[in-house]
């Protein structure tokens, strides 16, 4: 599949963005993502971008949109179906992944969704379980969007660097796009973590203050 996909996007460069977007969407869907080698394809696509065979902006944008949409669909599906889905096929055959995802989300919340995108097999179940556990939508979406930007840039960068030169990150348009994606992802990650830390501290302090002044 990897070879066929890279050959197709090389021959039909205009379709490279949509194809990568669909792969990222499929890789982000619950369970389906276990059978789609999107990570390997992204590494190969990064090499094609580094070689100048593909334009970087369509690849980056389609990949981010696909990754966001896949996680959002999984979350929505889990939120609507509820815990009963655990007993249905094919999820009942992957109980260990479900258990790991539930433990991560209960312990780490937002961070579990963000880091789950980078954690191999379990990443295909984390958004689904987040929906089942009714994680607040705005919290999930912030983690979803910021992690998607960083994940796409991280997936493209090794293939790009393997073909190109490090100095091309500053001198070529393709390199600047990949570098910009990495910087935006890192900046979004840092800003989001800082904002949630500040909000969590404010919320905890507010609850404590209300508790002290509430009538006994």
Q: Is the Cβ–Cβ distance between 38 and 27 less than 8 Å? A: yes
183 or 133, higher pLDDT: 133
Is the pLDDT at 204 greater than 60? The verdict is no
Q: Tell me which residue of 110, 83, 111 sits closest to 99, measured CA to CA.
A: 83
CA–CA distance, 130 with 133 (Å, rounded to integer): 5
- Tell me if 98 is assigned to some domain: yes
Q: Tell me which residue of 111, 151, 113 sits closest to 132, measured CA to CA.
A: 113
Residue with tokens 């889990």, as numbered in its chain: 78
- Domain count of the fold of the chain: 1
**pLDDT at residue 177 in the model:** 60
- Tell me if 94 is assigned to some domain: yes
- Tell me if 39 is assigned to some domain: yes
3-state secondary structure 100-166: HHHHHHHHHCHHHHHHHCCCHHHHHCHHHHHHHCCCCHHHHHHHHHHHHHHHHHHHHHHHHHHHCCC
CA–CA distance, 127 with 117 (Å, rounded to integer): 9
| All residues at 6 or more sequence positions from 204 whose CB lies less than 8 Å from its CB, including other chains | none
Q: Is the Cβ–Cβ distance between 9 and 20 less than 8 Å? A: yes
Across 125-151, average pLDDT: 89
Domain of 158, in residue numbers? 2-188
- Tell me if 209 is assigned to some domain: no
Across 54-83, average pLDDT: 89
Q: Of the ranges 41-45, 113-117, 172-176, which one carries the lowest mean pLDDT score?
A: 172-176
Q: Is the Cβ–Cβ distance between 97 and 125 less than 8 Å? A: yes
- Tell me if 196 is assigned to some domain: no
**pLDDT at residue 202 in the model:** 45
CA–CA distance, 204 with 34 (Å, rounded to integer): 38
Is the pLDDT at 192 greater than 90? The verdict is no
- Tell me if 150 is assigned to some domain: yes
**pLDDT at residue 212 in the model:** 47
- Tell me if 53 is assigned to some domain: yes
* Cα four-point dihedral sign 118, 124, 130, 131: positive
Q: Of the ranges 6-10, 74-78, 151-155, which one carries the lowest mean pLDDT score?
A: 6-10
- Tell me if 198 is assigned to some domain: no
């Amino acid at each position: 599949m990897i070879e066929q996909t890279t050959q197709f996007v090389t021959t039909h460069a205009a379709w490279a963005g949509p194809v990568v977007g669909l792969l990222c969407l499929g890789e982000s869907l619950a369970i389906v993502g276990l059978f789609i080698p999107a990570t390997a394809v992204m590494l190969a696509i990064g090499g094609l971008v580094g070689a100048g065979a593909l334009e970087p902006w369509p690849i980056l944008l389609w990949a981010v949109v696909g990754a966001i949409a896949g996680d959002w669909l999984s979350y929505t599906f889990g939120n609507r179906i509820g815990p009963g889905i655990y007993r249905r096929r094919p999820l009942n055959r992957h109980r260990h992944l479900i258990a790991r995802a539930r433990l991560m989300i209960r312990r780490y919340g937002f961070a579990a969704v963000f880091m789950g995108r980078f954690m191999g097999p379990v990443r295909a179940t984390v958004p689904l379980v987040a929906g089942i556990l009714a994680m607040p939508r705005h919290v999930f979406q912030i983690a979803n969007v910021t992690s998607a930007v960083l994940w796409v840039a991280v997936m493209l960068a090794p293939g790009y660097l393997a073909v190109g030169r490090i100095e091309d990150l500053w001198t070529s348009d393709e390199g600047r796009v990949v570098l910009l994606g990495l910087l935006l992802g890192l900046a979004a990650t840092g800003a989001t973590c800082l904002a949630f830390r500040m909000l969590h501290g404010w919320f905890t302090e507010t609850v404590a203050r209300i508790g002290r002044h509430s009538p006994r």
